[in-house]
Amino acid sequence: MAEIPPPQHGPSGYSNYPRMNPVSNGFGGPAPRPPGIYWDVINEAWRIVTADLGTWMVATLLMYVVTYGVNIVTSLIGMLIDPNSSPFSGARAIGKTPEFGPTFFLTFGLQMLGGLLVYPMQAGLFLMAVRRVRGEQVAIGDVFAGYKRTGPVIGAYLLMGIAIGLGTLLCIIPGFYVAGALAFVPILVLDQELDVMQTLETSYNALKSHAWSMFGLLFVLGLVTLLGFCACGVGILVSFPVYVMALALTYYNFFPNRPGTGWVQQQPIGIEPPL
């Protein structure tokens, strides 16, 4: 766990560190700490998820059912249009070369669209986790919240993927740094409703000095998710929410405020924030 340095006071006598808003965090979780990467968020994420396990399992199951269902439907439509031109059809499997005509690109576009629709569901699950950390009420249906901003969500995910891909091409290691620096993109795009470029810029500015530690946390959380998937596939309904919640807890240390509330972060030690 990262060490917490002593509070630094501004000229007004207020601490620069955010303190817990007593209205939020009603589930009894920790107050936001100085921005940083803390490994104990994994334990805290497990505690929060298992305290309301049914909600998180069903929300995650919905995400997988809807997204994979869309993939199956779009793939079937593409194969019905022209099986030989479908990039994932049996025609390709037996060595036939598809014709790269309008039909090919139509079917390929349909299947890509099905894949892209997973992003709003993932973003919705991240937003659920952040709201839960802030002590707000969440419901299973909140997993669909990402579809209210489908365009920005997909755009942010795609640009994040391109940035990580370009970094990976530069001897791989820079891609790890970019992945760590852009880790908050799936949350920011909904929680703060920024445009696509602002989302990437805000995440980078927040995490650029913590990118390597953030990548390490993401790597460990990825292993946890993989172990859940290996447990007959069912375990991922628990391990993926833990991944999401751990990232939400880390995000909360950097962005403790509800967007638009105007809650003051600087305040005297031990005193409630000014109204």
**Residue 26 covered by a domain:** no
What is the extent of the structural domain holding 107?
Answer: 41-254
- Is residue 31 included in any domain, yes or no? no
Closest CA to 113 of 67, 157, 149: 67
In a domain, 185, yes or no: yes
**Which pTM was predicted?**
0.75
Q: Say if 34 falls within a structural domain.
A: no
Distances (CA, A) of 122 to 44, 100, 147, 164: 20, 32, 10, 18
Residue 171 within a domain? yes
Task: List the beta bridge partners of residue 267.
Answer: 15
Residue 100 within any structural domain of the chain = yes
Say if 141 falls within a structural domain.
yes
What are the pLDDT tens digits along the chain (275 aa)? Answer: 445 455 444 444 434 444 444 333 445 455 778 899 999 999 999 999 999 999 999 999 998 888 777 777 776 776 777 665 555 444 454 555 555 556 666 666 666 766 677 889 999 999 999 999 988 889 999 999 999 999 999 999 999 999 999 988 888 899 999 999 999 999 999 999 999 999 999 999 999 999 999 999 999 999 999 988 887 778 899 999 999 999 999 999 999 876 654 333 333 333 344 44
The secondary structure of 56-122 as a DSSP string is: HHHHHHHHHHHHHHHHHHHHHHHHHH-GGG-TTSHHHHTTPPPP-SHHHHHHHHHHHHHHHTHHHHH
* Number of domains, the chain: 1
Crossing angle of the two packed helices 211-230 and 41-51, in degrees rounded to 10: 40
30 within domain boundaries: no
